[in-house]
Structure 1
Amino acid sequence: MVDSLCIVILAGGQSSRMGKPKELLEWQGKPLILHMLEQILPLGRPCVIVTNDPKRLPHINELGTKVFITGDIVASHGPISGIYSSMSVRQEEWYLVVSCDLPFLRTEHVQRLFENLNDRLDKDINAVVAKAGGRLQPLFALYHQQTKEIWKAALDRKDFRVMHALEEMIVKEVTDECWDDLTTFNMNTPADYEEAKKVWNSKNSLGENK
């Protein structure tokens, strides 16, 4: 088991299409960010939330010392600046990166990704990325500390596309029956939010959200 590992929740986006901070959307009677933490904290790993406005998450500190909040340490340019910032304020070897708007992410999904990290055959691999819906999911992925310079170089050349940075890494792609398209379903618009609630309620009526 890899001992030096931190979980990173990216909550620094502008949420311009949603019209409000996505991490504060109500989900099952609580802010979405709290729902996600309930899935992540049982894994017993330190967790850092990267946000462009740390002041709007004061209640997070009530959850315990394993949750840290930081702002971007560079100009905010989406996920790349958030990932780079997390690697700059923490010293772990590996970072599990997830976006803040994954309502269907569950503890077992993250655990399975951890297990794939331990099972990697090529020790030169510096990124372990989930594949769902036939596509790589770079915001449900594990990145080694050595990728920090790749993220920094992308910021320096103003190329803020995560997939471009990924092309410079040694990647292990992971497919797993544990997760499906819903695992990485993210909510960018009010329509996405309403669709997610409908799906959740439907699954709940079938007893599938337990």
Structure 2
Amino acid sequence: MYNTLGVLLAGGESRRFGQPKAFATYKKQYFWEISYQAIKKVTDTNIIISQSAYIDRFTRENSVSVYEDESPYKGKGPLAGIYTAMKKEQAEWYIVLSCDIPQITSKTLENLLKFRSNHIQAIIPKISGRIQPLVGVYHSSIFPEIENQLLTNQLKLTNLLDLIDVCYVNEQDLMINQEVFSNINTQSDYHKLLNND
């Protein structure tokens, strides 16, 4: 069993973006590669949760473990991705990161991990007052809650957070600028990112 497993969520539909966000580029790297490199530096091992249409693209030139969401929860969003990671790989802690936050750094993730304790089941950033559950650290003890949420079709991560012991941390706690957490949802967001570089 691992102490800390990295889980990169990279299988979303990207409807508003118009193409798979995982394969958008920033500073000559795919978004997923940026996130994967950040998470890799602070974990024992890593996996990618995606969909079958993208698996070849991830594994073609890289030695990475990629899984699809477990049946019967395929297509049930990030909650299904976290469930799949916990089913596939045993760890005490899972650091979960979506692939559409290209300014994330390993230092930010390292600072997040410092808040682990015996009394906490999740560490979640709250940046500018906004909860960021897709850059979070989750303890294995929440697996039954995740499974129950999926069974009852309660798919919002914020619903899960209401049921478990969460430590919320802000930008001061993490010693970061809030832009680090800017996620790219639209082509407009993407062009803003590229123009500010």
Which of 66, 69, 73 is the equivalent residue of 1:69? 66
Unmatched segments (≥5 aa) in structure 1? 202-210
Which AA in structure 2 matches 1:99?
S
| Alpha-carbon displacement from aligned partner over 1:176-209 (angstroms, at most 9, x marks no partner) | 252232122111111111111122x1xxxxxxxx
Matched, 1:115 2:107: no
Aligned residue number for residue 59 of structure 1: 60
Any conservation in 2 of the 1:133–1:180 contact (CA below 8 Å)? no
Aligned residue number for residue 175 of structure 2: 178
Q: How does 1:1-210 map to 2 (within 5 A)?
A: 4-53=3-52, 54-59=55-60, 61-62=62-63, 67-73=64-70, 74-117=73-116, 120=117, 123-175=118-170, 176-199=173-196, 201=197
Any conservation in 1 of the 2:47–2:65 contact (CA below 8 Å)? yes
Q: In the aligned structure 2, how far is the partner of 1:20 from the partner of 1:174?
A: 32
Any conservation in 1 of the 2:32–2:99 contact (CA below 8 Å)? yes
| Alpha-carbon displacement from aligned partner over 1:98-136 (angstroms, at most 9, x marks no partner) | 11111110111011011121xx3xx23211111211122
List structure 1 segments (4+ residues) > 3 angstroms apart after TM superposition: none
Kindly state the Cα deviation for residue 44 of structure 1 after the two structures are TM-superposed.
4.9
State the SS of the aligned residue for 1:83. helix
Aligned residue number for residue 204 of structure 1: none
Kindly state the Cα deviation for residue 149 of structure 1 after the two structures are TM-superposed.
1.3
Q: In the aligned structure 1, how far is the partner of 2:163 from the partner of 2:3?
A: 23
Pairs aligned (count): 190
Any conservation in 1 of the 2:112–2:174 contact (CA below 8 Å)? no
Which AA in structure 2 matches 1:178?
M
State the SS of the aligned residue for 1:93. strand
How many percent identity over aligned positions?
27
Any conservation in 2 of the 1:132–1:180 contact (CA below 8 Å)? no
Q: In the aligned structure 2, how far is the partner of 1:13 from the partner of 1:35?
A: 17
Which AA in structure 2 matches 1:190?
Q
State the SS of the aligned residue for 1:128. strand
